[in-house]
Structure 1
Amino acid sequence: MDKLLVACSLLALSGACQAATQTWDFVGSGGSGSINRNIIPNTINISDDNNTMSVSMTSWSAYNDEDIFQAELWLSEWGTLVFNSSGDQHWVDNYGRYDFVLLSFSEEVELAGISVAYANSDSDISIAAFNNNPFNGGSPMERWNEISSYAVASSSFSNVGASPANHYYSLNTGSNLNKSTSGVASKYWMIGAYNQYFGNGLTSGDDYLKFSGLTTTTTRPSTEVSEPVTLSLFAMALVMLAGRRKFS
C-alpha cells in the first residue's frame, strides 16, 4: 500500500518538475557555392529535432571599430557559414571581422552544449544571453563593446572543438562549471568566434568554426499532465491514505 501511495503522489506531481532537452541540427544540404557572395541579410527558421520548439537564426559581423551589420547566413552540409564580404571564406570566424549567429528561440532555454563539426587553427568561442533582441530586427549601428553591455550573461570558452567532430561539448561542466552563463535561461542567445568583449583572456584572431548543432534545456515538462488528471491522482492518494489510517 505504501508503495502505491508513493507512486500515485509522484505521478501526480511529475508533470511540474521534469526538465526537457532539445537537440538542434544546423546541417543543411547546400555547399558553399561561389566565394563571390552578394551579401544579402537573411533569416533562417528551423525547429528542434522533435518539433517541440522553433528558433530564428541571423548572422552579424563587424570589426571592433565599425558598426555591426547583418551578414548572410547559410546552413550548409558543414553547418553554419557566415558571409560578411564578397570574398569571405565559409566559416564563423574572427579573422578581421567578428562573426556571430543570433538565435531567437520561441521560449526561454538554457544553452547546454554546442557541436563544432569543423575548426581551423583554433576553436575558441564567445556566447551571450540577452533579455531582448540586441539588434532590434535591423542594423544596430553599434560596436561590439556596446552590444556586450546589453548582455545579461556572457562568457568565452576555449577549444570547444577539441573533442571529436560532431561531439556535443557541455558548457556547464568541468573547467567551465563556474562560467557566468551557467543556469541562465533566455530567448536570445548569441554564439560566435571568440571576441574579447564577451570574456577576455584568450588568443584572438585565429578561430575558424562551423557549428553543426547545439543542445538546449527548458524547465517545462517533457510530458505534460493535465490539471484535472493531476488533481484526481492526488485526491486518490489522499483517500487511500485516509482509508489506511482508518483500518490500521
Structure 2
Amino acid sequence: MRLLNVSILTAGFIGLTLLPLSAAEAGSNKWHNSDYSGCSSNNSSSNNDLCESALGENIYDLVDDGVQSGTDPLNSTISVNGVNISVSAWSDTYGKNDDLVVDAKLEKISDYYGYGVTNDDWETYYNPDHAIDNVNKVNGNVTDFDFVLLSFDQAVSVTGASFSWLYSNSDSQVSVAALDSISGLTSGSQTWSDIVADALTTASYDIENCDYVEHRADFDISDTSQYWLIGAYNTVFENIGGYIGNDAFKLSSVGFSVANDSPPAPSAEVSEPTTLGLLLAGVFLVAWRRKQL
C-alpha cells in the first residue's frame, strides 16, 4: 500500500480532473464540480490482520499498472505476471424501468486515486456520482448499481480488492460475481438479476476501513473464471444486511491467483494388463527352469 502525506493528498483534491478512457480519451476531459471534502475524511485506522495481509498471489494495481479499456484481454497491453487484463464499466441505466444493464464509462480519478464509473444518470454536481456507487440523487429515479468487469486472458480466482476512497467509513459493502460468459452482460437486455442467475458464483462483502488512503475487502471465492464483476453493493448478488444507497468507492487494486490447470500426476498403480503380463512371464520362467533340470 502507498501512504501519502497530508500535503500530497490535499493537493490531489484541488481541481480533480476525470480522464475518460476509450473513445472519449481523445476528446476533452470532463470536469466534475463536486465537493471533495469527503475524500479526506477516511482517517480512522485499523491495524488488524486483514489490513496488513496481501491481497493475493498477484496484485493488479489499476493506478500504477494502468488500465486497458475493453472486454477483450487479448488486445490489452496491461499484463501482471504474464496475465493480460482489460477493464470495462457497466450499470443499469437504460429502459422503461431503468434496470437494464448497459455499458458505462470508466473514469480515472486523478493520479493518486483509483477508478470510478459514470453512467447515463450521473450528475456533475453531486458527490459521489463519479465513483463506483449505488447512490442516485436524481429526483424520481431508482438506484443505479455501478460495476466494473475485469477480463483476464486465463482463468483466475479474484481474492480481494482495495479502494482508495469510501463514501461511508462505517457501512460500505461490495458485491462480486464470477461469470462463465459475458454475453448476457453485453446484450443490453438483461437486469442484474438475470446476470446473477447465470453467474458461476456471486457474493457480497463488507469493506474494511483500514486507513485513509486504502481500504479493502477479501473474497473467499474458490471458483475460477476469466470474467469478474466488482461493484457497489447489490443484494441480488448476496444480501449481507448492509444498507443500500450509501455504497461508493474508487477501485485501486485487485488481488488474484492463477488457476492451477496442470494435469494430474500419473498414477503409481500398476495396470491390469501389466500385472497379467508379469504373471505369465513368471509361469514361463518356472517352466523353463524345470525343463533345464
Return the TM-score normalized by structure 1.
0.64
1:74 and 2:107 are equivalent in the alignment: yes
Q: Which of 196, 207, 216 is equivalent to 2:247? A: 207
Could you tell me whether the CA contact under 8 Å between 1:134 and 1:150 is conserved in 2? no
2:78 paired residue among 42, 47, 53: 47
Preserved CA contact (<8 Å) 2:176 2:203: yes
Aligned equivalent of 1:127: 176
Q: Percent identity?
A: 30
Change (3 A) 1:49 1:127: same
Give the strand-richer structure, 1 or 2: 1
CA 1:102–1:46 in structure 2 vs 1: closer, same or farther (change >3 Å)?
A: farther
Which gives a bigger RCO, structure 1 or 2 (Cα 8 Å, sep 6+)? Answer: 1
Q: CA RMSD in A?
A: 2.7
User: What does the per-residue CA deviation read over 1:165-204, in whole Å, with 9 as the maximum and x for residues that have no partner?
Assistant: 33554323xxxxxxxxx21111111000001110013211
Supply the AA of the counterpart residue of 1:47: I
3-state DSSP class of the match of 2:63? coil
For 1:183, which of 199, 222, 225 is the aligned residue? Answer: 222
The residue type equivalent to 1:197 in the other structure is: V
C-alpha separation between the residues in 2 aligned to 1:194 and 1:167? Answer: 15
> What SS does the aligned partner of 1:146 have?
helix
From 88, 92, 115, the counterpart of 1:62: 92
2:197 paired residue number: 149
For 2:165 and 2:145, locate their aligned partners in 1 and report how far apart those are by CA, in whole Å: 18
Q: Hey, what does 1:197 align to over in structure 2?
A: 236
1:133-187 deviations in Å (ceiling 9; x for gaps) = 1446x442111111111111001112x1422233554323xxxxxxxxx211111
Distance in 1 separating the partners of 2:210 and 2:150: 23
Tell me the SS of whatever aligns to 1:147: helix
Write the distance in 2 (CA, Å) between the matches of 1:145 and 1:196.
10
Label 1:219 to 1:68 Cα distance change in 2 as closer, same or farther (>3 A): closer
Aligned positions, number: 180
- Alpha-carbon distance in structure 1 between the residues aligned to 2:157 and 2:190: 26
Which whole-Å CA distance do the structure 2 matches of 1:183 and 1:98 have between them? 25
CA distance in 2, matches of 1:215, 1:48: 13
Letter in 2 for 1:103: L
| Structure with greater Cα Rg | 2
Q: Which runs of 5+ in 1 are unaligned?
A: 1-19, 31-41, 173-181, 225-248
TM-score (norm 2): 0.55
For residue 83 of structure 1, what is the amino acid of its counterpart?
T
